[in-house]
Homo-oligomer: A and B are copies of this chain.
Amino acid sequence: MGVAAALVTKLVNVRYLSGFTGSNAALLVAADGDDRLATDGRYTEQAAAESPDLRVVVARQCAVALVESMGTDGPLAFEAQDVSVEAHDGLMASAPPSVELVRLGHLVEELRRVKDDDELALLREACAIGDRALAELLPWLRPGRTEREVGRRLEDLMLDHGGDGRAFDTIVATGPHSSIPHHQPTDRPLARGDLLKLDFGSLYRGYHADMTRTVVLGEPADWQRDLYALVARSQAAGRAAVAVGAAESAVDRAAREVVEEAGLGESFPHGLGHGVGLEIHESPLLAASSTGTLALGIPLTIEPGVYLPGRGGVRIEDTVVVTAGEPELLTTTTKELLVVG
């Protein structure tokens, strides 16, 4: 049985389908072609400009207004991953009695996996902004500067280079902090001999870049060189496994095997990577539990990490795109171990 209409409430999905970028919206995609975008009075002009082909319903409660406006009978599909139990009550109460609510599933998220040329162009620029910012940051790094100062400088540089803001909270982790996968910058100063892990990215017209580089302040110790070389090998193996038709779990496996063979599998406690686009984390997920396969035009991160508590950690992350041949590398900063400061 088909549905009479689909109610899209997840904001990035609304943006993907309609082009509308406001912060309060819902979209009704109707089988009879009578699609409607709802937003509130703050965004009336913006909706007309961004979604000129859509009828716009102005209301504070966007989803409820769209459901109330339904003339058609039959099932209405909704995004169960986005609609809260409480909001679902509201939809049930507003829908005409002949309208039954059914699940749309993650249909729009699935559509969003493969990016078109315009989207890839935005992702390329988002990643290039990060490369340019990092190139300017590296010569500025030296012992004494704090994690917080480094994070702020990096975010400033991304804005200087054309970014619209940060894609996520910048991670700057120095010395023992580098063994914490998701560390928030503190007032700890960089010190000679530290590993310094930088995980960051720019937002650019709605699209999210993601890159990690780990550098060392001053001459690296042997264990730092070895750890870095191991993670770099793992990362290269992960990138080499990215191909049309490759199982997501197999890409994770390819990179993880390298770390496991070194006896450090337990020290790589997260998945290998994730899709990026209108969200910083989106489908696919590269992990042992993943069941999908990769297709042409999917951008994703490859980011193995090995973390040795109390000593330090290394993560190396690129954003790449699945192509017919080798994956396209969007984050082009070198992956040689860089000595700074």
Contacts and interface: CB of A to CB of B under 8 A. Distances in A.
Contact of A86 (B23, B80, B270): B80
Contacts of A23: 182
Interface in A64-116: 78, 80-89, 103
A299 interface: no
B81 A42 contact: no
A23 B89 CA distance: 27
Contact of A180 (B45, B85, B89, B269): B45
A84, A103, A152, A156: residue with the most chain B Cβ atoms closer than 10 Å: A84
Q: State which size class the interface on A falls in.
A: 20 to 34
A12 to B, nearest CB: 15
A130 interface: no
A85 B45 CA distance: 33
Contacts of A81: 84-87
A183 B301 CA distance: 33
Interface in A1-28: 23
Contacts of A182: 23, 42-43
Given A42-B181, A80-B84, A80-B89, 7 more contacts: A41-B269, A42-B270, A80-B85, A80-B86, A81-B86, A83-B84, A85-B103
